Structures are given as C-alpha cells and as structure tokens.
Amino acid sequence: MKSPMIKTSLPGPRARKLIEKDGTYVSPSYTRYYPLVVEKARGLWVHDVDGNVFLDFTAGIAVCATGHCHPRVIKAIKAQADLLLHMSGTDFYYRTQIVLAEKLACLAPGEGGKKVYFGNSGAEAVEAAFKLARWHTQRELNLAFYGAFHGRTMGALSLTASKTIQKKHYNPLVPGITHIPYAYCYRCPYNLSYPQCGLGCVNWVEDTLFRTTIPPEEVAAIIVEPIQGEGGYIVPPPDFHLELYRIAKKYGILYVVDEVQTGMGRTGKMFAMEHFGVDPDIIALAKGIASGMPLGALTARAEIMDWEAGSHASTFGGNPVSCQAALATIELLEEGLINNAVVQGEYLMAGLREFQQSFECMGDVRGKGLMVAVEFVKDRENKKPAREWRNEVIKKAFQKGLLLLGCGENSIRFSPALTVTAAEIDECLSIFDDVVREVAV
Ligand code: PLP
C-alpha cells in the first residue's frame, strides 16, 4: 500500500454510530483528538470501521514499535495463548517472565547485575520505581521536572507536571516532590543560551535548591525522562544528564529514569539514556516493550532492588503472553529495527528541516531517532505558541488519512513504528506539507 484511502466523510457512518454509543457508555475522561474508530491494522496502515485506510505516525502513542500486528509477535502471542494465559507471577513462577527478566537485565546499561520487576503499564512501572527508591534509601523527598509526564495513578501523577487538568480535584497528592525546570533550550526557563549558560538549570539545583530549601541528604531520587515525551519531545543538551547525575551521586540520590516513551529502540538506541552516557540506577519501561500487549517493567541495579517479599507486586504483572510478545519484540529490535530508527529518523528530520526553511510557523524541529517533533509558533522571533495551528494541522492531516498526535502545548509528534520505510516517510511528509500550507501561511 502506498497512500491512505479515505472513501467516506470522516467520521464515516459506522464510526459515527459507535462514537455516539461511546458517549453514552464510556468514561468521558479520555482525550480524543479526532474521531478514529479502529478496526484492524498492519505495519503502519490502520483501517477504520468504515473501510478507510490511514497512515499511522503515532504507533498507538509510541507503543507498536514493530508495527501493528507484526507476524512474529502475533506468532509468539498465539503460541503462548495455547499454553497458558495466567497463573500470576506474584505467587508463582513463569518461565517466560524469568527469561525476559534475564534479557532486560543484560540489556540495561551499566556494569553489574540488575533485577527486574514487572507490572502492566507505564504508570505502574513509575509507581514501582518511586516506591523502590523510597524503600532502598528510606528518604522521603524527590525531585521531578516541569513538563514531565509519568502516568496517572496517584504516585505517578504526583511526579507528573504536564497539564493541570491531569491533577484537578485530585489533591492532596503524594507529598515531598519538588518540580524543577527541564532543559528546554528552545524556551530556556532562565532565558539563557546553551552552551554559554554552563548548564545553569543543573547548577541551580545544587547552588540554590540544595542550599536554601531541600536538604540533599533527604532526597531519595531524581526522576527524569531522558527526552521529555508528552511535554513536547524535548531533547536536553548532551551533558545535561551527566551533570545532573554527578550531583545526584554526590549526595547519594538515586537517578531514576523514565524510559516509558523513549525506550526500546525508539531513539536509535535500546535505551535513550545511552545517548547521554549515564547508567541510571533504576529504569521504568512500558509502551514499546511488547508491541501493544500491556506490560510495564522496572530494571534496577541488583543491590538497589532490595525490597522484601510482600513489599510490592501485581496480580497481572508480567503476564506470560505479554512477556512472549516482549521477547519477540526485542529480537526484532536487535535484528535491525533500532538501526532503522536511526536511518529513517534522520531522513524524517531532514525532510522536516527542509520544510522549516519555507514555513515560518515551524519554530523548532527536534528529536532523536523516530522520536521527532515540530513546535508551531506564530512567528520565529517571538516564538508565540501557535496551539490552534498545531491542532488544525492534526485534524486536517486526519481528514487526508495521516494519523498524528500532539505533544507539549503546541507541538506535533512523529512517532511511527520502527519498521517505517522511506516511502512511508515521503507519504507522511507530502500530506504534512499540504496541510501546513493550508493552515498556516
Ligand atoms: N511515562 C512516560 C514518559 C509516558 O510517556 C507515559 C505515557 O504516555 C507514562 C509514563 C504512563 O504510561 P501509561 O499510560 O502506560 O500508564
């Protein structure tokens, strides 16, 4: 297949009926950008219930790393489903869970042994990281970042500082968390420029925060995304994590990295932190790990994962079908998909950078591998966020058969499956070009 195929008005008649029923029976708390009702999908091509075909540059929010329904993932899932669906890794042992734990422990960056905890989602992985950091250090305070998204359960939500609607009416949350500015150099919170700034945002933690309000010896963890995801695909400078990590180690603080969105090859390395030369103490994983089957995982240095039996667990965590999907996913990533993320990511970014020459509204094009974003502005000089243009571009792209999602206040993310081809990127760029021309001249 070369192009999307839209044969009804959108939403089509079947989609419209289902969306109406959804309004009656389904929680209104979900955020739907546009009325897509999915029926089936293969690779990057998604069919809706009316037979319209879309090109998917969302990968189900950066989840379907190997493309929709990769035959080898499906084969692994079917074989496991014939054997066993559930027994519970909480009270019993699963062969697949142990094999996957060994694989992840070997893959996780850094010297020495690692141990792995399994849950079902990104929020659960973060929740576990948060609890483990408290358990191990027996310290009560934590640092997290403005713009961060770590999930919606109470602990993960407490670490999140993305949109107020996510917190509205849910206070009080977990105490002891201080949010600090991330290295968002396009809009530096300190009005400085890298590298002349000398990483002022990092130095501020030690020189101001730790001197005035937060006793560093009471801080359990710094919880950070290698590249901010929901916050706007914000890539920090190359030495940001190294410097922050140096400060963390000076005070015995754990460096807890949320790789839920950046992990599993998306940025062109298995773990995005490998770009920054830091070996984290704890890593939270989910999304791309099992190509769409629900799975969350936490890797930690073995000496850190010292909690006792009964201190944390989950009935469904590390489900054997999800674990088999993860093993098949990792095999595919190692066989070539991570490399494809590097090659196609550069191609995608080059195409977007070329458009940027002609479109004033494309204020910033940034990313790593296949985690790429365009930030929309009213004009380059004042950088006034053009949120409405961003939203219009996403809606119009949908009408033309291209699936995109927003991130941050005024950015669009491009997070296709790691199987994406140059021809699919050309198709995406061609639709994007048309749409941006229509929306923002
Ligand atoms: N952490 C990060 C970095 C994420 O991007 C997300 C979801 O977008 C989460 C955690 C939460 O994951 P989940 O929605 O699976 O709970």
Distance from the alpha carbon of residue 130 to the mean position of ligand 1, in angstroms:
14
> Is the CB of residue 260 below 6 angstroms from any atom belonging to ligand 1?
yes
What is the CA(154)–ligand 1 centre distance, in A? 13
Cβ of residue 266 lying under 6 Å from some atom of ligand 1:
no
Query: Measured between alpha carbons, how far is 391 from 314 in angstroms, rounded to an integer?
Result: 38
Percent pLDDT > 90 in the chain is 98
209-259 pLDDT tens trace = 999 999 999 999 999 999 999 999 999 999 999 999 999 999 999 999 999
pLDDT confidence bin for 440, thresholds 50/70/90: confident
CA of 2 to the centre of ligand 1 (A): 32
- Mean pLDDT (whole number) for 47-58: 98
Q: In this structure, are residues 413 and 405 in contact, taking their beta carbons and an 8 Å threshold?
A: yes
pLDDT tens figures, 268-318: 999 999 999 999 999 999 999 999 999 999 999 999 999 999 999 999 999
Report whether pLDDT(27) > 80: yes
pTM attached to this predicted model: 0.98
In the structure encoding, which two tokens stand for residue 324, read together?
A: 């088999």
Determine whether the shortest distance from the Cβ of 258 to ligand 1 is under 6 A.
Answer: yes
Domain with CATH 3.40.640.10 in the chain: 86-318
Look up the CATH architecture of domain 13-69+337-440.
Alpha-Beta Complex (3.90)
Instruction: Name the average pLDDT for the chain.
Output: 97
Q: What percent of the chain has pLDDT over 70?
A: 100
CA of 123 to the centre of ligand 1 (A): 6
Find the angle CA(258)-CA(391)-CA(265) to the nearest 5 degrees: 30
Average of per-residue pLDDT across 111-122: 97
Beta bridge partners of 368: 371
Tokens of 24: 């009656």
Average pLDDT, stretch 50-76?
Answer: 98
pLDDT in tens, 357-407: 999 999 999 999 999 999 999 999 999 999 999 999 999 999 999 999 999
What are the start and end residues of each CATH 3.90.1150.10 domain in the chain? 13-69+337-440
Q: How many residues does the chain have?
A: 441
User: What's the pLDDT at 441?
Assistant: 64
Contact 339, 265 (CB under 8 A): no
Q: What is the largest CA-CA distance in the chain?
A: 63
The CATH classification number of 86-318 equals 3.40.640.10
Check: CB of residue 383 under 8 Å from CB of residue 187: yes
What is the reported pLDDT for 2? Answer: 82
pLDDT in tens, 158-190: 999 999 999 999 999 999 999 999 999 999 999
Predicted local distance difference test score (pLDDT) of residue 1: 57
Identity at 389, one-letter amino acid code = W
